[in-house]
Amino acid sequence: MINANYNKLIALNEKIIDTSHPIVMAIINITPDSFFENSRSNSEESILKSAQYAIDNGASILDIGGYSTRPGADAVTEEEEIERISFALNTIRSRFPNIPISIDTFRGNVARVAVKEFGVSMINDVSGFEWDENMLDAIIELQVPYILMHSKGNPQTMQSLTRYDDFLSDILQYFAKKIAILREKGFNKEIIIDPGFGFAKTVEQNYTLLRELDLFECFRSPILVGVSRKSMIYKPLNIDPTEALNGTSVLNTLAIERGANILRVHDVKEASEAIRLYNLLGIKNNENHISTTRNYVG
């Protein structure tokens, strides 16, 4: 049996965040081609406006990214990514010096700049340290909490890589192996599990993942869910990302019910409201949430 009553504290610089009650991570994209246009922030004014809105509406963490990793996204040089995130981080730190920030990058050198020069307190890596040979060394060197996400291929190829020997077993074994590597290399900070909705997964596979989200409690780590306005919502409904807020709120609520500790979202206010209403049920997130162990991990 899996009992999810375990420590879900994350130390982000001077702040300790308790994710046993779900929290919100706000997406701030410093890119011209993020799949959801309204999430793009490219000027000082728009960056500050986005950060202020997120903080005012309940975001515990800001997630800053300078490279769109949506399926089919154009490649960006390391130099350009560093330039983008440096501009954004300098802008945010000038107004909000203490807000916890996560850097959304798969590159080790970008992570180093963000953590060492701007005090970023978390690395959000969609690649599982596979797309850049420098990333694993950077993770070990920097020793800040790390979001480990499942994916395959790269943004240009991932949607052609949706075949698995055993879908859930393959993903669970991926995390088991990656976590073992990190611990063996000396990484001693918190690892957050992100199942990687939309990354090398069909719409049907995404819903399997959501339905079985509690499986990932076996790693005894906080679980991050990022379904915000993704194709698993807008494709079945025959709409586009601008119309996918209602569906996002529905799936965020279902994710909380199934054990999500962090919601990574474009729409902070609505996600915060979903959490507040869920909490009115009087159920502590994952409290006494027990599921039958499946034979997925070989």
Catalytic residue numbers read 230, 264
Cβ atoms of 30 and 277 within 8 Å: the answer is: no
Helix or strand run (H / E) with residue 249:
helix 245-257
Q: Which two structure tokens, joined as six digits, stand for 105?
A: 């990058």
Q: Which two structure tokens, joined as six digits, stand for 274?
A: 């979903």
**Helix residue ranges, H only, 185-230:** 203-211
Cβ atoms of 23 and 263 within 8 Å: the answer is: yes
Residue type, 248: T
Rounded to whole angstroms, how far apart are CA atoms 156 and 79?
20
Cβ atoms of 145 and 10 within 8 Å: the answer is: yes
Cβ atoms of 194 and 151 within 8 Å: the answer is: no
Radius of gyration of the chain (CA): 18
